[in-house]
Amino acid sequence: MKRSYSAFAEDIPPYSGPKAARETYADLKQLSAIPGHIYTHPGLQILPGQRRFSKVPWMVPMLELLPPSSIGHLKEWGLSTVFVLAKNYNKLVHVWESVMAMAELWHPQTNSFIFPEFEATILLEELEIMLGLPCYQRGEESATSYTVEQINSWSILAYITTKKNDLYSMTSGMHVHLLPIAQWITSQCKRKTTNYTAIAKAAAICICGVILFPESDGAISFDNLSIIDSISEGMKIGQAVLGFLYAGLTSAALRGPFYGSVIALELWMGMHIQFQAVEDLTTECKTMLNHPLAYVGGRLHMSTRAWCKTAQVKDIQAWRKYLRSLTVADFDMHPRFMHGQIIHLPQRTGLALRLLGNGALVSYNPDRCYLQCGAARTVVPLLSHFPPIQERKRGDEQDERDMRSAVVHWEGCAMGVIQAEVEEDDDVTKEYVEALKKIQPVARTD
């Protein structure tokens, strides 16, 4: 990835304190008081944008033709789980009622879900493990995928093909179309060419476009094309994937189209809310058979002989009722795949973390989610002085400053270890829950 920074490290303005933050940005709002929030529209039955997540008929035939050497490259780049999910994508059944009910609890100012007794979010470390992506570690910021320069899609696709007719069919506007790329792969495989790396790069665009960066029907943005292209260079893409999902949840919460990795969200809900491993069950859980959890392995693997805690939760009304009354006991704060996991946290107030991506800098607030991070609940934190989502303008000097500032915060971030048990003070917890009510949605009858 090109990182031709200007010499501006000394120009990063110091944090001016929480008072300035409160003056610069609006106070934390009650979720149901946010203008246009989806929570205030109970009559909405379909999540905007969900029809974009339809079956992909060309995916499996294309993947079945891939030569072993190209599959080997995908595994080498850390895309084994993404490959398996893509190969089984047409078997998956998205439960849009649950996704919509979750979107109704997403707070666009905090990038977290607001439950009655706690806040929760999809942690970077959770996402990387769930999707089998290479994991970020402090000190490896230079391997985080983003660019500060303009993106030339043709120069990226030139590794696949230099034929102008192909390039014209693969691109339009600011998007890359996946079907023509899949057709190119199919053609190469049937002709038994030995362009194994090029085939793997093209396959990575297709499978990541469907699993990690779904945005519009069969297309991805140039921003995300560049992120996917960097995988073969050993870059870490977890922050870009998570930031894109956060932005998609915010879009949906404000009645825009949903986009981002719905599979990552469903894996997260499955581990925290829906399923529980049980040793002595003898029958398969039918709900899990078509759930992404059935197709992931490693630390996340869970037998399909599991107990589905939400088996009786069917329609949108039932999901709303269930999630809006979810207690700490109902939410698995520390699923087994996170036990002992090192997580990254803001160093202190004012050194907020932001997820790096080519399209935006997205606020990342794991410190709001105490129990999830293995800490006792104390106070409801103030808002960061950064906007929740800051659109980027690559090639701009201020954008370079903002990116460098965000990188510096990751370089100096704190690290913690997830503990299986957390001791809390009852009085402090009561104060926290009372304070949390100020941002919870007001109760209503649908």
> Average pLDDT for consecutive 10-residue bins of the chain (446 residues)?
40 46 64 90 81 88 96 96 94 92 95 96 95 90 90 90 90 91 95 94 96 89 95 94 96 93 95 78 71 77 72 90 94 83 86 93 95 92 90 90 93 86 91 93 63
Can you give the residue ranges of every domain in the chain?
A: 51-134+149-417
Task: List for the chain the helix, strand, coil content (%; round to 5).
Answer: 45, 10, 45
Contact, 138 vs 413, CB < 8 A? yes
Cβ-count burial 179-195 (b if 16+ within 10 Å, e if not): bbbbbbbeebbeeeeeb
Task: Please report, for residues 230, 263, 339, 386, the alpha-carbon distance to residue 26 in angstroms, rounded to integers and kept in the order given.
Answer: 37, 32, 36, 11
Whole-angstrom distance, CA of residue 192 vs CA of residue 180: 18
Token duo for residue 199: 């085939």
Output DSSP code: residue 91. Answer: G
83 Cβ contact partners less than 8 Å away, ≥ 6 residues apart: 63, 71, 74, 75, 207
Please list, in sequence order, all residues whose beta carbon lies within 8 angstroms of the beta carbon of residue 178, skipping any fewer than 6 positions away.
205, 206, 209, 210, 218, 219, 220
Q: What is the pLDDT of residue 62?
A: 96
User: What gap in Å lies between CA 42 and CA 444, rounded to an integer?
Assistant: 9
For 26, the 3-state DSSP assignment is coil
Torsion angles phi and psi, residue 314, rounded to 5 = -110, -65
Task: Please tell me the predicted confidence (pLDDT) of residue 311.
Answer: 83
The neighbour count for residue 107, using CB atoms within 10 Å, is 27
Question: Which tokens go with 333?
Answer: 């704060």
> Rounded distance, CA 396 to CA 394, Å?
5
Q: What is the pTM of this model?
A: 0.91
Instruction: Kindly write down the DSSP assignment for every residue of 145-205, as one continuous string.
Output: ---SS---HHHHHTTT---HHHHHHHEETTEEEHHHHHHHHHHHHHTT---HHHHHHHHHH
Alpha-carbon Rg of the chain, whole angstroms? 22
